[in-house]
Structures are given as C-alpha cells and as structure tokens.
Structure 1
Amino acid sequence: MKVLLFSGLAMILALGAINAQAQQSSVAEPEVKAGWQTLPQDNLLYLETDQGRIVILLAPQFAPEHVKRVKELVKNRFYDGVTFYRVIEGFVAQFGVPEHEWGSRTKLTPMKAEFSWPVNGRDPYLLVQRPDLLAEETGFNQGFAVAREQNQEWLVHCPGVVNMARANEPDTAVADIAIMLGQAPRHLDKNMSAFGKVIWGQYAVNRLRRGEVADGGVIGSASARTVIKQARLGSDLTPDKQLQLEMLNTNSSEFSQSLAERRSRIHVFYQHKGNGNMDVCYPQVPVREVKVG
C-alpha cells in the first residue's frame, strides 16, 4: 500500500495595544462587520460516523478545485461506508479508501496542488502576528487562520484543519481526507492542500479509534476502524437534519476585543503577562448552534 502524507484554527489573541506589537500599527484597521454570521449549508459537510456527527466547513474561496472534488464525491456517495483507516494520536485522522482496498472503484484523476494562492487585497483580513515563526505574518481571513509571505497566502494547519492526502509528489491528491489532531503540525503548511476545518462534533473526533504509532497509525482490520455511515452536504439534507450554525466574524469588534483581552492577559489570575506575542492556532473561532422554532 502506498503510504500517504497528510495534513490536516483558530481564534487567536491579537491586536492589543502592546509594545511587542508596535510594528503592526502601520497596518490598516480592518472594516468592522456584523458579529455572528450564518454558515451556508452548501459548504457544510456532515459526516455521520459510528462515534457521532462531525461537521466540516469547506473553503472554496481558498481551494476551489479540492472543494469541488469533495462535493462531487459526496454527491456520488463515495464516502458512504468508508473508514478512518489511519489515525495517529496527536497528529492526524485520515479517512477514505486504502489503495489496496479500491477493488472495482473507478480510479480518480490526481489533482493539481492548491498549497497557496495570491493575497487578495479585498479579503477581510485581520492581522494577528508579525513576524510569525514560520511566515512573515499570520492572521484570520473569513474565519480561517492563514499565513502570508511574499504576497502568497495559505491555510495554517491548526487542529481541526482538513486537507487532501497525497503521495510524495505534490500533484497526487485524489480523495482521501485528513483531519489535524492535537498540536498544530505546521510543517505541513504550504506542503498540503488544505480546504476546510472541523467546526462541530469535536467529541466524535476525540472518539475516533486510533492506530498504533509503530504501524504508522494504519488500522489493518476494517472492523476495528471508525466508520463513516453517511457523508452529505448540508444543502442535501432536510431542514430537520441540518444544524443551523453561526460563526463569529473574525473581522468583528467582538472578535477583535476577545483577541486583545487574551493577548494582554488582563485577568487577575495571570501573574506573568507574557510579551504580547500570540500563536494563530491558540483558540478556535467560536461556532454556535441556533435553535429554530
């Protein structure tokens, strides 16, 4: 079996009036938007597993071809009945079909990588850290943690980010999807095509059956793996099966205030206030369910 690579959000602590961030003052203030925004059902991927429901927010604005491929596969029921066949604690959970188990499935054309893209000056970008350890800067763009350097932007591999598994060559991703677990594996940044993130059902992710590190996380017996019973786009579900989810706008005053408070560690608990620097993968962007009726 060919061994695949994987990849795998972030709410952060940013924008306080702190000396360590004085170099950020030259950046234009982002336009303030409404606080909570409804997430479109056609960009929500619902995975019904035997451990519970997992919901992934797709990002066609960043990786349009990978999102298009995933949506086509979901429409064709490709992921119904597949398993999480490689799960490494603290690193990655990969689902799909191992190469030696493809059988009569139609072979899919490998995809051209979407590792990064040109910075779009019209995007509602919120600066978090400059410089970042692994990039010129990091920030938030439409709810996703991103990094920027030399007019290129890419999704940061924070916990919960999903990408398309591939072989050693860059343009070899086909269908298998990997969810980032545990600490942020940022060595995968600009090395994998990330196209979304888990926004709901972390409890189910935590219960995914793990493989042995000595075996590369591969779970040899299909009966020992977590099964995806059904994968659907929210737009293909009846309203009673959908979750009405809202995400806090990362360009809102509420989000900026939260980041500034976290960056400055104003709570009396903190005896050491830090230096104001923040990792873009520290907290998650808040998502909430809105009950209808």
Structure 2
Amino acid sequence: MDTKKESLVADLDPENTLIMDSTQGRVVIKLRPDLAPGHVTHIKELAREGFYDGTPFHRVIDGFMAQGGDPTGTGTGGSSKPNLKAEFSSEPHKRGTASMARSSMPDSANSQFFLCFGDCGFLDGQYTVWGEVVDGMDNVDKFKRGEPVQGPDRIEKMQVMADAE
C-alpha cells in the first residue's frame, strides 16, 4: 500500500469501515451512515454475525458491477433479517460505489450488495448507496465474470474494522 493509501485508511472511522478479505485480496469499504444509516447498521450486524463469510460474488458483469451477499449463490437468497426500507440518495453510482441489490420492489434489499466497476449513473436515486471502496478496488477488478459465475470469487471474511483481528 502506498503512503497516500496508508494515510487514507488510517484516517477512517474503524466503526464505519468494513474489511472484506476476498479470494482476490483485501477490499476496504468506507461505510456511509450519513447516506443510509439503516443499511449501514444492518450490514455491520450481518458482518459481525459472520453472515457474509464464504459467500460468492455470483453475478459479475464487466464494466458494470460485482454482486455478492447471497449465501445460496443464486441471486435469490438473503438473511433471515427483515428487508430494509429504501434509503435512496443523490449520491452517484461510480467506480467503487457500494450499493444494495434489491428486487423490483424498492423496500426489498436484505443482504445482497454490489460494487460498481465504473460509472453506473443510470442507477442513481434507485438503489441505496451505503459505502465506497477506498482500497482494494484492483482486487475487485480481478473477480471472475459471469451470470452466474462459474467457480466464483468469494468473501473469505468480512468484518467491521473496529473488530478486526
């Protein structure tokens, strides 16, 4: 990690930062409770319960996004927790944006999320932005592509930085 990145990571709030260790390497996500407090709380609860550990990135589309957070790997699974009320904002969907996946119903987000590879402005205002990748996007770029992905990359461990071992 270069000095600029080390400084950025050191300046993050450990309670509002996720460390996602994937099969391609570490990804650091700055959480945005200012945009989506309910989603951030939910994702931290799931991470602390170990829900995301071992889950695949089942849908990875070149130039668009990598979607994960479904324990079944089918795109239809979620956690046993209730779905979330949408917290849409004007925050743009751009490279590194972490946003919640959902069905056609706005209040159907549960555990699945996606990380944008590039400008995805067509999603703005329709999906809940809850964070941004601040380090390790190069590792996300290495994820195997597909819908569904054959032999997908996985989250090995996701934890809140404040709890990191």
The residue aligned with 1:115 is 88
Distance 1:78 1:159 in 2: 25
3-state SS of paired residue (2:129): strand
2:94 aligned to 155, 158, 182, which one? 158
Distance 1:40 1:61 in 2: 13
The unaligned stretches of length 5 or more in structure 1 are 1-35, 117-153, 212-216, 239-293
- Secondary structure of the residue that 1:48 maps to in structure 2? strand
2:154 and 2:109 mapped to 1: Cα distance?
Answer: 22
Match of 2:148 among 190, 193, 218: 218
Residue matched to 1:234: 161
How far does the alpha carbon of each residue in 1:138-186 deviate from its partner, in whole angstroms, 9 at most, with x for none? xxxxxxxxxxxxxxxx21111110111000011110101100013x110
Instruction: Give the secondary-structure state (helix, strand or coil) at the position aligned to 1:67.
Output: helix
Q: Distance in 1 between matches of 2:74 and 2:61?
A: 19
Partner in structure 2 of residue 74 of structure 1 = 47
Per the TM alignment, residue 107 of structure 1 is displaced from its structure 2 partner at its CA by 2.6
**TM score, norm. by length of structure 2:** 0.87
In structure 2, what is the Cα distance between the partners aligned to 1:196 and 1:91?
17
- Per the alignment, do residues 84 and 39 of structure 1 end up closer, same or farther by CA in structure 2, a change over 3 Å counting? same
Instruction: Name the residue aligned to 1:59.
Output: 32
- Computing the radius of gyration from Cα coordinates, the structure with the larger value is 1
In structure 1, C-alpha distance between the alignment counterparts of 2:30 and 2:75, rounded to whole Å: 30
Partner AA of 1:171 in structure 2: D
Q: Check the 8 A contact 2:58/2:75 in 1, yes or no.
A: no
* Partner of residue 22 from structure 2, selected from 10, 26, 49: 49
**Cα distance, 1:43 vs structure 2:** 1.1
Query: How far 1:108 moved relative to its partner?
Result: 2.6
The aligned counterpart of 1:273 is none
CA 1:112–1:101: 2 relative to 1, 3 Å: closer
Shift of 1:218: 2.0
Q: Which AA in structure 2 matches 1:39?
A: L
Is 1:198 equivalent to 2:139 in the alignment?
no
Distance 1:89 1:100, change over 3 A: closer
Aligned AA (1:84): F
Query: How far apart, in 1, do the equivalents of 2:109 and 2:76 lie?
Result: 17
Q: Does 1:88 align with 2:24?
A: no
What is the CA–CA distance in structure 1 between the aligned matches of 2:153 and 2:62, rounded to whole Å? 14
Specify whether residues 106 and 114 from structure 1 end up closer, same or farther in structure 2 by C-alpha distance, changes over 3 A only. Answer: closer
**Equivalences, count:** 155
Does the C-alpha gap of structure 1 residues 161 and 109 become closer, same or farther in structure 2, counting only changes over 3 Å?
same
TM-score, structure 1 as length reference: 0.50
Q: Is the 8 A contact 2:57 2:68 kept in 1?
A: yes
Q: Counterpart of 2:103 in structure 1: which amino acid?
A: A
| Deviation readout 1:93-120 (Å, 9 max, x if unpaired) | 0011145775xx853311110002xxxx
Give the CA RMSD over aligned residues. 1.8
**Cα distance change on mapping 1:100 and 1:112 into 2, 3 Å:** closer
Moved over 6 A (4+): none
Q: Identity of aligned pairs, percent?
A: 35
Whole-Å Cα distance in 1 between the matches of residues 50 and 40 of structure 2?
A: 15
Unaligned 5+ segments in structure 2 are 1-7
1:189 to 116, 124, 139: 124
